[in-house]
Amino acid sequence: DAGVTQSPTHLIKTRGQHVTLRCSPISGHKSVSWYQQVLGQGPQFIFQYYEKEERGRGNFPDRFSARQFPNYSSELNVNALLLGDSALYLCASSQQGAGEQYFGPGTRLTVT
Amino acid sequence: GNSVTQMEGPVTLSEEAFLTINCTYTATGYPSLFWYVQYPGEGLQLLLKATKADDKGSNKGFEATYRKETTSFHLEKGSVQVSDSAVYFCALSEGATTSGTYKYIFGTGTRLKVLA
């Protein structure tokens, strides 16, 4: 079975632009979580979605938003990009809202 | 709130040396504990986990024991290889119900460099 997949792999954007990152969970998994990993630090929780509903949100500004689709894939949107948004964005899926999370390879976003 | 503290790196060892990476946590309740490994340019791979006190997680020669009395989950390996060079993250799970948020809290990571 395929693992968690994310697209694109790399992305370069300019300050002020908008970006959309995509994630496909493991087949049968109904929950998707998003994490931001700034260089040299551990991942920080951004959002969790379960059965297409937002279950939790980390300490991130409203410029960050996400949604989950009927097929359980998910998008993370970031508006008005700042240099500080440059990071590796990780998606993780799990069968239910709770339970072990499986991480994708990430999308590396560079904001110039 | 809940938190994870890891020893600062980088840790540099010779091949076949013994490895210990310290991890302590602060948590309410009884979280599950994890060690993840991240190779350069890649995402996170689960190395091992423990779900309750005194559990020992093990994988690929790595071990860690969930110590509730010392709130620790130290990673050990008896003989490291050059291929073990990576960044290691300790993490705990926060929240455990299907109706609420369930997320991981990560430490800052410890870089391990093994020299041949």
Q: What is the pLDDT of residue B63?
A: 98
What stretches of A61-111 show up as alpha helix (H) in DSSP? none
Write the residue in B36, B96, B103 that is nearest to A45 by C-beta. Answer: B103
For B21-70, the pLDDT digits (tens) are 999 999 988 889 999 999 988 889 999 999 999 999 999 999 999 999 99
Contacts of A97 in chain B (CB under 8 A): 97-102
- To the nearest 5 percent, what fractions of chain A are helix, strand and coil? 5, 50, 45
Mutate to test the interface with B, among A26, A35, A39, A46 (most CBs of B within 10 A): A35
In chain A, the residue whose alpha carbon lies closest to the alpha carbon of B47 is A102
For A12-27, the pLDDT digits (tens) are 999 999 999 999 999 9
Mutate to test the interface with B, among A55, A91, A110 (most CBs of B within 10 A): A55
Report the candidate in A22, A85, A20, A97 with the shortest Cα–Cα distance to residue A54.
A97
Q: Is the pLDDT of residue B106 over 90?
A: yes
Within the 1-60 window of chain B, which residues sit less than 8 Å (CB to CB) from chain A? 4, 32, 36, 42-46, 49
In chain A, the residue whose alpha carbon lies closest to the alpha carbon of B49 is A100
Alpha-carbon distance of A99 to B99, in angstroms, equals: 12
**What's the residue count for chain A?**
112
For A71-109, the pLDDT digits (tens) are 999 999 999 999 999 999 999 999 876 778 999 999 999
